[in-house]
Chain A
Amino acid sequence: MIKLLNLSDGSLIDAPTDDVLDLAHDQDIMTDAPALDGVAVVRLVFPKFKDGRAFSQARVLRTRYGFKGEIRASGDLLPDQAAYARRVGIDTVEDVNDGRLDDFRFALSAYRFVYQPAEEGTPAHRLRGDVL
């Protein structure tokens, strides 16, 4: 059973057995909508940690297509990128090296605040007393 790191709390969970829709890192989903009907899990890939295209893909999946299922990250995601991943709407990370679990967990709680609105986290300006 594949283990996934759950970015919401840093726990390890068993991967659900649902079918997974794989999106290539260079797929332009801004222009071409992916077929999301009945899809429970979308897996994005970081071919190298420096390649941040999946961050945009996740955000477009959430905002443009209203995707409510699981977004999973695979590939070369660094522990230090975990909070960014969570903030763009990624739920889980595949294949986390055991030796790096602590680093992932640290990264998930390294910051108490965020500045900008995204899929997760309350932006600073809202905490500063702005009422929508």
Chain B
Amino acid sequence: MYQYDDIDKAMVNDRVAEFRRQVDRRIAGDITEDEFKPLRLMNGLYLQLHAYMLRVAIPYGTLSSDQLRVLASIARDYDKDYGHISTRQNMQFNWPKLIDTPDILARLAEAEMHAIQTSGNCIRNTTTDPFAGAARDEVEDPRVTCEIIRQWSTFHPEFTFLPRKFKIAVSATEEDRAAIAVHDIGLQMRRNESGEPGFKVLVGGGQGRTPYIAEEIRSFLPQAELLSYLEAILRVYNVHGRRDNIYKARIKILVNEMGIDDFRAAVEREFDAFRAMGPAGSIDLPEAERARIAKYFAPPAFERLPEESESFEKAKASDPRFAAWARFNLHPHKVPGYASATISLKPNDAPPGDISSSQMDALADIADQYGFSDIRTTHEQNMVLPHLKLDDLYTVWQALEGAEIGSANAGLISDIIACPGLDYCNLANTRSIPVANRIQRRFSDPGRQAQIGELKIKISGCINACGHHHVGHIGILGVDKKGEEFYQLTLGGRADEDAAIGEVVGRGLSTDEVVNAVERVVEQYLVLRLDPDERFIDTYRRLGAEPFKEALYDQAA
């Protein structure tokens, strides 16, 4: 992974010193809360319902084991002994004190980490495939591009006071595991006919109150011109994006109001202006610097191993619980004899995405011993060990089980994305975590979960959609009606390469009804599917919402 040089280190250390002074000014009353707010937000510090929340950046979801131990120490020393993985692959701490935050940032800086631009109306953490660098189907490692974007977007002088937040995601595979179509900018790495590297560029996707699937703005952008093209998009957005209404300020609204063709024309004009400045005026990254960064993402020293592992097969045959984990939580690796494993942070009856200090330490130890010290966070609020030998998997799983992070439910109905909801958030209308837990409990039988197969439930406690309900196969949106919590179901949403916004089905359901409703939808799917290989989302695509609505209302009436 990327290692800081003296410049990168100076950058985060200077940030700590600056923030320490900003906190002092705030405590002394030299600046107002209104002025302090954007400054603290750009350091990831929110004021939540009960306390401050600090969001630490995990650039493109990549962590070393030592960095994870530092996060564990922060959870232990400054929080209530746990951290929470966010849908931008970051880690949030829910209980830090304002006065402690500069010290927390200093501890992060020592470990080459930061909380820069994890909030605020600026370019946020770039997200990508958690299996980057390991996935069998990738064109190349997307993290090189992500790190380039991280550096370019850090304290960008022109684009740090945008109309609204700005999120970029990069995918290097046809199967999109980075949800690029619901991002302000989505980049899909590809090669053109001559084999040159570049990107398909999507723009204007997003969730929130007004969800949009991104549109293609360019079918091929040469890799070397990435930054000037990004600047062209950002400039058009900075100048033309709406600032009169916070709910209409995202780039998706601008793209929609201008129309993709006019928007594209405006971007191309800016892009041409960058090109006209020639090499001397270019803001693109020189090839030598790309190569320097790429070096850090060279693959680790994999062994030459057979495609199959005898001990792995034997363990699966003798231990059905391990076999279930291996079936659902593994992802194909590009190197024979290896696999990537999803570490589920979705056990029953715990807030989705939470991980305790001791679990972080345990995972770090496992990564050191078996996984090249490489750890990832996922936008689905899990973690990943990207490089594991098949021969080691049984031992690894037992160690994970020992730390209670061995749940065999990746991608299954209990692997739920949920926002923090009313338990933490001052924007939320309803609670999310208890609903997730009740669904998990209803489907707690592992055999039943396995029978249902891949099914992504996503829960948001308000229309800001932080729980990604718009792209849940089953989405659940919490709404407040006269002081009572109601839940609105959407069906058929997806964040993959066939991204779609889920369709709203029917009236809001009470807290008591919502789990039954989910179960009826699932039971109907089991009746309707052609065979066990037809996933819920495939059945939905084949038949549409109608048969599911019928199931909902027949019995809800």
Contacts of A132 in B (CB 8 A): 279-280, 286
Candidates B155, B280, B286, B288; contact of A114 at CB < 8 Å: B155
Contacts of A99 in B (CB 8 A): 30
Contacts of A112 in B (CB 8 A): 10, 14
Does A3 make an interface contact (CB < 8 A)? Answer: no
Candidates A57, A63, A107, A116; contact of B156 at CB < 8 Å: A116
B11 with A115: CB separation less than 8 A: yes
Contacts of A83 in B (CB 8 A): 155, 157
A28 with B155: CB separation less than 8 A: no
Spot the interface stretch: B235-243, B251-259, B453-461, B515-523. B235-243
Does A72 make an interface contact (CB < 8 A)? Answer: no
Contacts of B39 in A (CB 8 A): 78, 80
Minimal Cβ-Cβ distance residue in A for B280: A132
Does B285 make an interface contact (CB < 8 A)? Answer: yes
- Distance in Å from the Cβ of B230 to the closest Cβ of chain A? 11
A50 with B121: CB separation less than 8 A: yes
Number of interface residues of B (CB under 8 A): 50
Contacts of B30 in A (CB 8 A): 99, 103
Chain B, 1-59, CB within 8 A of any chain A CB: 5, 7-8, 10-11, 14-15, 17-18, 21-22, 25, 30, 35, 38-39
Contacts A50-B38, A130-B289 known; A110 to B161 CB distance under 8 Å? no
1/0 contact trace for A45-86 toward B, CB 8 Å?
Answer: 000011111011101100110000000000000101101110
Candidates A56, A87, A107, A128; contact of B289 at CB < 8 Å: A128
A100 and B357 CA atoms in complex are apart in Å by: 42
Q: Is the interface of B mostly helix, strand, loop or mixed?
A: helix
A80 with B280: CB separation less than 8 A: no
Minimal Cβ-Cβ distance residue in B for A110: B18
A53 with B238: CB separation less than 8 A: yes
Contacts A30-B235, A87-B157, A88-B158 known; A124 to B121 CB distance under 8 Å? no
Minimal Cβ-Cβ distance residue in B for A115: B151
A59 and B232 CA atoms in complex are apart in Å by: 12
Contacts of A55 in B (CB 8 A): 157-161, 238
- Distance in Å from the Cβ of A80 to the closest Cβ of chain B? 6
Minimal Cβ-Cβ distance residue in A for B232: A30
A28 with B239: CB separation less than 8 A: yes
A113 with B11: CB separation less than 8 A: yes
Candidates A52, A106, A114, A130; contact of B21 at CB < 8 Å: A106
Contacts of B235 in A (CB 8 A): 30, 56, 59-60
A115 and B156 CA atoms in complex are apart in Å by: 8
- Distance in Å from the Cβ of B224 to the closest Cβ of chain A? 13
Contacts A49-B38, A128-B5 known; A116 to B10 CB distance under 8 Å? no
Contacts of B277 in A (CB 8 A): 63
Does B152 make an interface contact (CB < 8 A)? Answer: yes
Contacts of A125 in B (CB 8 A): 285-286, 288-289
A53 with B239: CB separation less than 8 A: yes
A53 and B22 CA atoms in complex are apart in Å by: 24
1/0 contact trace for A87-130 toward B, CB 8 Å?
Answer: 11000000000010001001100111111111000001101111
- Distance in Å from the Cβ of B343 to the closest Cβ of chain A? 32
A57 and B155 CA atoms in complex are apart in Å by: 18
A56 with B238: CB separation less than 8 A: yes
Contacts of A127 in B (CB 8 A): 7
A114 and B153 CA atoms in complex are apart in Å by: 11
1/0 contact trace for A30-50 toward B, CB 8 Å?
Answer: 110000000000000000011
Contacts of A116 in B (CB 8 A): 151-152, 156-157, 227, 283
A52 with B283: CB separation less than 8 A: no
Contacts of A81 in B (CB 8 A): 161
Minimal Cβ-Cβ distance residue in A for B13: A112
Chain B, 177-236, CB within 8 A of any chain A CB: 227, 235-236
Contacts of B158 in A (CB 8 A): 52, 55-56, 59, 84, 88, 118
A61 and B52 CA atoms in complex are apart in Å by: 40
Candidates A52, A59, A124, A128; contact of B160 at CB < 8 Å: A52
Chain A, 12-27, CB within 8 A of any chain B CB: none
B11 with A111: CB separation less than 8 A: yes
Contacts of B238 in A (CB 8 A): 52-53, 55-56
- Distance in Å from the Cβ of B13 to the closest Cβ of chain A? 9
A52 and B240 CA atoms in complex are apart in Å by: 11
A123 and B38 CA atoms in complex are apart in Å by: 25
A60 and B352 CA atoms in complex are apart in Å by: 46
A114 and B7 CA atoms in complex are apart in Å by: 9
- Distance in Å from the Cβ of B348 to the closest Cβ of chain A? 43
Candidates B8, B25, B162, B288; contact of A130 at CB < 8 Å: B288
Chain B, 268-304, CB within 8 A of any chain A CB: 269-270, 273, 277, 279-283, 285-286, 288-289, 292
Does B154 make an interface contact (CB < 8 A)? Answer: yes
- Distance in Å from the Cβ of B487 to the closest Cβ of chain A? 34
A49 with B35: CB separation less than 8 A: yes
Contacts of B266 in A (CB 8 A): 30
Contacts of A80 in B (CB 8 A): 18, 22, 39
A111 with B155: CB separation less than 8 A: yes
Chain B, 133-166, CB within 8 A of any chain A CB: 151-152, 154-162
A111 with B25: CB separation less than 8 A: no
Can you list 7 A-B pairs, Cβ within 8 angstroms, ordered by A? A55-B161, A88-B157, A88-B158, A110-B18, A114-B155, A115-B151, A125-B288
Excluding A51-B161, A110-B18, 11 further A-B contacts by CB distance (< 8 Å) are A31-B269, A49-B161, A50-B121, A52-B159, A81-B161, A106-B21, A111-B10, A111-B15, A111-B18, A125-B289, A132-B286
Nearest first, the 9 A-B pairs at minimum CB distance are A52-B161, A87-B157, A125-B289, A84-B157, A115-B151, A117-B283, A110-B18, A55-B158, A111-B14
> Which residue numbers of A lie inside 8 Å of B, CB to CB?
28, 30-31, 49-53, 55-57, 59-60, 63-64, 78, 80-81, 83-85, 87-88, 99, 103, 106-107, 110-118, 124-125, 127-130, 132
